[in-house]
Amino acid sequence: MRLALLVLMLTTVVGCHGLPLPSWLAASHLPPQPVENPAFVQFGDPDALWEQIVDAVDDNFRIKDEQRVRVVAGQLTEGRLETFPTIGSTLFEPWRTDSTRGYEKLESTLQTIRRTVIVRVLPEQGGYLIDVEVRKELEDLRGRPTDVADIDLLRHDGTLRMDPQGRPIQQTQTLGWIPLGRDYELEQRLIQDIRARLAACGAPPQERMPLRLPPTE
């Protein structure tokens, strides 16, 4: 049954040519070394470039806004894509890749973490710079005094609970979202996925640039 489902998934996903693996299966085949972000790619067709970027992002994120690369007055304009914030997948959802393996999956299991993806495409001489940014936020909750006993219910139980008088018990209230910075591991996975898709569409391989690590606080 599982083998038949896997074969069906592989035959329904079509890329530029051939039958590429879904990103949650193909992620393990991406280059293990970190790459430059923004990444420079040589590619001619801006529409095909944009479609591959969208395909890489919308596997796990719902796109909120798209501003494609366009030709205006003979000049290419900057492209920008932003997604809706997405609650991070847990250890119980291994097929979702919005949370990378290891610490990020564990953190999203124990706490409510959401991520927003922003991709910028900047035309350069001979190609494009693709900049991927993933913003992480932690849910800020205010709960009842007895929430410590009900901590396992905060994320996964949506049952309406009643007090002895038949009134609904308010368990928690979201006060907002606390910025946690950027998810560099997911940025790397996305940028490498995009490069792999473009290479399958005929983009020449790029020389690997030295990675610029983010500044430490």
| CA distance linking residue 70 with residue 72, whole number of Å | 6
Q: Give 119 or 32, the one with higher predicted confidence.
A: 119
168-200 pLDDT, tens digit each? 555 556 678 999 999 999 999 999 999 999 988
Q: Mean of the pLDDT values across residues 111-133?
A: 94
Q: Mean of the pLDDT values across residues 22-45?
A: 69
Q: Are 120 and 131 in contact (CB under 8 A)?
A: yes
| CA distance linking residue 198 with residue 205, whole number of Å | 9
Q: Evaluate whether residue 144 is within a structural domain.
A: yes
Domain count of the fold of the chain: 1
38-88 pLDDT, tens digit each? 999 988 888 999 999 999 999 889 999 999 988 888 888 899 999 999 999
Q: For residue 119, count CB atoms less than 10 angstroms from its CB and return exposed for 0-12, middle for 13-18, buried for 19 or more.
A: buried
Alpha helices by DSSP H, the chain? 2-12, 23-26, 46-57, 103-110, 184-200
| CA distance linking residue 16 with residue 199, whole number of Å | 10
CA distances from 83 to 98, 115, 183 (A): 12, 9, 15
Q: Evaluate whether residue 216 is within a structural domain.
A: no
* Residues 6 or more apart in contact with residue 34 via CB below 8 angstroms: 188, 211
Q: Evaluate whether residue 106 is within a structural domain.
A: yes
pLDDT at residue 202 tops 90: no
Among 215, 35, 186, residue whose Cα is nearest residue 104: 186
Q: Mean of the pLDDT values across residues 89-110?
A: 90
CA distances from 13 to 20, 27, 31, 197 (A): 7, 15, 21, 13
140-165 pLDDT, tens digit each? 886 544 444 444 444 444 555 565 66
Q: How confident is the model at residue 201 (pLDDT cuts 50, 70, 90)?
A: confident
pLDDT at residue 12 tops 60: no
Confidence at residue 31, expressed as pLDDT on a 0 to 100 scale = 47
pLDDT at residue 112 tops 90: yes
| CA distance linking residue 98 with residue 117, whole number of Å | 10
**Peptide bond before residue 38 is cis, with ω within 30 degrees of 0:** yes
pLDDT at residue 28 tops 80: no
| Domain, as residue range, for 124 | 30-151+162-200
Other C-beta atoms closer than 10 Å to the C-beta of 61 total 20
| CA distance linking residue 36 with residue 38, whole number of Å | 6
Least confident segment among 29-38, 129-138, 142-151? 142-151
The pLDDT mean for the chain works out to 76
DSSP lists the bridge partners of residue 83 as 63
Q: Evaluate whether residue 209 is within a structural domain.
A: no
Q: Mean of the pLDDT values across residues 33-39?
A: 87
Q: Evaluate whether residue 4 is within a structural domain.
A: no
Confidence at residue 6, expressed as pLDDT on a 0 to 100 scale = 44
| CA distance linking residue 186 with residue 165, whole number of Å | 48
Q: Evaluate whether residue 185 is within a structural domain.
A: yes
Q: Evaluate whether residue 69 is within a structural domain.
A: yes
Q: Evaluate whether residue 71 is within a structural domain.
A: yes
Among 168, 75, 66, residue whose Cα is nearest residue 124: 75
Q: Are 19 and 13 in contact (CB under 8 A)?
A: yes
Confidence at residue 169, expressed as pLDDT on a 0 to 100 scale = 54
